[in-house]
Amino acid sequence: MRSKLHFARTLLRDTDAVSVIEFALVLPLFMTLGMYGAEIAWLNAAALEVSQVAVSMADNASRIGQTDNSGVTPTVSSSDVESVLNGALEEGGTINLDENGRVILSSLEGHPVTGKQYVHWQQCKGKGKQQSKHGKPDTTGGLLTSIANGLSLGGKTIKAPSGGAVMVAEVWYEYKGLFGTLFVDKIVLHEEAAVIARDDRSLGNGMTGNDKKNQC
């Protein structure tokens, strides 16, 4: 009995490797917190990237035709739009936007007859299956569309001026997580931006060329 008590007292007084034991106890907690912090940081970075791609795409689309030096008012071509879409996917390459998302470009215009706001043409690219939240191109001149009185974006109503167009960019991205679904479920990010066309355009025929290649 005395030997057992002596062993117990000796064990209690022995402080060798205490710090190692404490470190082993708290290591899982610190690793979990570190992984969670990395996940949230990467999610925020991806959201920022999606937002920047949307702004850049709308801005680039608004500049189509600026380098046209002819005396004829330029018409937007399908090849021009495809270049803008490709540029957006390239910009989003760090988050693999092409594989995990979709970029959508729509031309918001005021119909010359009805005066209603409508989507004249729309093009998409990327392997995602998402559709524009503003609907598809309208053939009724805005009479049957939910955006007849303007497109809602960021809590504000956007309208194209008479004879002009507004380039509306949408970017969808499916965030899958650095550690799968350990900390976050799959999240679909969606960002929008709108920029008015900077130069005169011939809007009557919409977009020329093979517009079926990147149909939504």
Burial category of 104 from C-beta neighbours within 10 Å (exposed 0-12, middle 13-18, buried 19 and up) = buried
Give percent above pLDDT 70 in the chain. Answer: 87
Structure confidence by residue, pLDDT tens digits, 136-189: 999 888 888 889 999 999 889 999 998 899 999 999 999 998 888 888 888 999
Contact 121, 96 (CB under 8 A): no
Average pLDDT, the chain: 87
Sequence spans of domains, the chain: 30-196
| Other Cβ atoms closer than 10 A to 130 | 19
SS3 (DSSP) at 54? helix
Quick one: average pLDDT of 60-76?
73
Q: So what's the pLDDT on residue 65?
A: 72
Quick one: average pLDDT of 201-205?
85
pLDDT at 1 over 70: no
- Rounded to an integer, what distance in angstroms lies between the CA atom of residue 215 and that of residue 200? 25
Structure confidence by residue, pLDDT tens digits, 39-53: 999 999 999 999 999
Q: Which residue has the tokens 């194209």?
A: 160
Confidence bin at 200 (pLDDT 50/70/90): confident
Length of the chain, in residues:
216
Contact 149, 118 (CB under 8 A): no
Q: So what's the pLDDT on residue 184?
A: 87
| Other Cβ atoms closer than 10 A to 174 | 18
Contact 120, 206 (CB under 8 A): yes
- Rounded to an integer, what distance in angstroms lies between the CA atom of residue 79 and that of residue 85? 10
Q: So what's the pLDDT on residue 67?
A: 56
pLDDT at 71 over 60: no
